[in-house]
Copies of this chain bind each other. A is one copy, B any other.
Amino acid sequence: MQAVKVGLLGLGTVGGGTATVLLRNAEEIQRRLGRAIEITHVAGLGIASQTIFDPAKVKLTEDAAEVVNDPEVQIVVELIGGYILARELVLTAIANGKHVVTANKALIATHGTEIIRAANEKGVTVAYEAAVAGGIPIIKALREGLAGNQIQWIAGIINGTGNFILTEMRDKGRAFDEVLLEAQKKGYAEADPTFDVEGIDAAHKLTILAAIAFGIELQFEKCYTEGISKITTVDVEYARELGYVIKHLGITRKTDAGIELRVHPTLIPRKRLIANVDGVMNAVLVQGDAVGPTLYYGAGAGAEPTASAVVADIIDTVRLIDAPAVYKVPALGFQPSALSVAPILPVELVKTAYYLRIDAEDKPGVLAEVSEIFADHEISIEAVLQKEPEEDEAVVHLVLLIQRVLEQNVNIAIAEVQALTSVMGEVVRIRVEHLGK
């Protein structure tokens, strides 16, 4: 059989990695597929200086539009990132009857509905395994490997930069700002780290996971997102004393009322396997009704780990390149006509447990006052830790773990606590998830 012709958009970190892996593993891939994959077109800025491809054999261009409009190209691999140009190129490729493989989480999370609809109408494939958790085949696990289950919830460490920062804070007692600087120097974090540390990147990925777990539309705009920039080493240490680790999790859960979709710092029990996922590594914990908990761990970023997912998508696409749609796994794992309209819950209607740190004057009665407020709202306190910070003996840190309660109810109680004259400043509040059944 003839080699399948692939056009690559972008020859940066992931594009270069994809080219390298496809070339290095060509023989192994052909052993699997019974067919060769050939990169015939590459578009990239400064393409003239590339050294991977022989310009006599591969069409090189600075203009990505040339690739998506070239009739020779059968599969377009979009690795340029961003929303605007990428959307245009992908839609043009689809309109031209080409299959698309992308690693672009922002694109799928925000324009996925439009792109998937266009692909379905045209009878082509859109594959995006690399968009979530890099090289971990979590899209495949959810869409196919766990297809016999009703997925109940997912909790994922799906941003390596954030996990690196939290791991360093915990292991070395270093402050957030200091570790962030190091992450930037190491190339883990962008110069503008907002997408990573404020949870936007994780929210893109979580949006995709929720859609394929529950068979709902992609709804990035409804994802609750809270970053880790306000986490302090004090809270990291108190969490440890209580047997917990703070992780930046993306959590999505199906409840009778609707679907939770939220990214925020979270205390999780240290004994959970996912609590031991450290540094830049990613992991996704999935609870299915039949299988129970399963966890998928690996590198969430980097040239070759991401390329691993891109190439797997290319292989899947090639295998069914001329197959009718009925033989293919639908883009969101569910038939487009069978998507559920279950609503995304506003965060006020989400029920979680909480870690609270209340800074108060060091005088008798504070614990009594605080306890009374929670008792009045019928909120149980599960654990209490009262500490005098070394640097200021006039203040006590009152740390509470409270039971699972609706966010809108805990908001009221916290407002009352903050109104106490002995309480200083804002109450620190971090959600707690036990990640058990």
Contact = CB atoms under 8 A, between A and B. Distances in A.
Contacts of A162: none
Interface in A291-325: 291-299, 302, 304-305, 307-312, 314-316, 319-320, 323
Contact of A296 (B28, B296, B328): B296
Contacts of A137: 140-141, 144-146, 294
Interface string A320-362: 1001001111100111001010000000000000000000000
B327 A32 contact: no
A15 interface: no
Contacts of A21: 148-149, 290
Given A136-B294, A290-B311, A299-B291, A335 B145 contact: no
> Range of interface residues on chain A?
35 or more
A333 B32 contact: yes
Number of copies: 2
A50 interface: no
Given A323-B323, A334-B32, A148 B310 contact: yes
Given A34-B335, A137-B144, A140-B141, A297 B298 contact: no
A384 interface: no
A148 B29 CA distance: 6
Contacts of A33: 147, 335
Nearest to A316: B144
24 contacts: A21-B148, A25-B290, A31-B334, A32-B330, A32-B338, A129-B145, A135-B288, A137-B144, A137-B294, A146-B308, A290-B307, A292-B299, A292-B302, A292-B304, A292-B305, A293-B298, A294-B297, A295-B295, A319-B328, A319-B329, A320-B327, A323-B323, A323-B327, A327-B327
Interface of A: 17, 21-22, 24-25, 28-34, 129, 135-137, 140-141, 144-150, 215, 273, 276-277, 288-299, 302, 304-305, 307-312, 314-316, 319-320, 323, 326-330, 333-335, 338, 340
Nearest first, the 10 closest Cβ-Cβ pairs linking A and B are A137-B145, A148-B311, A294-B298, A135-B291, A291-B308, A295-B297, A31-B338, A290-B308, A290-B304, A34-B335
Given A32-B333, A293-B298, 17 more contacts: A17-B290, A21-B148, A32-B330, A33-B335, A34-B338, A137-B145, A137-B294, A145-B309, A147-B315, A148-B311, A149-B308, A290-B307, A291-B308, A292-B302, A295-B295, A319-B326, A323-B327
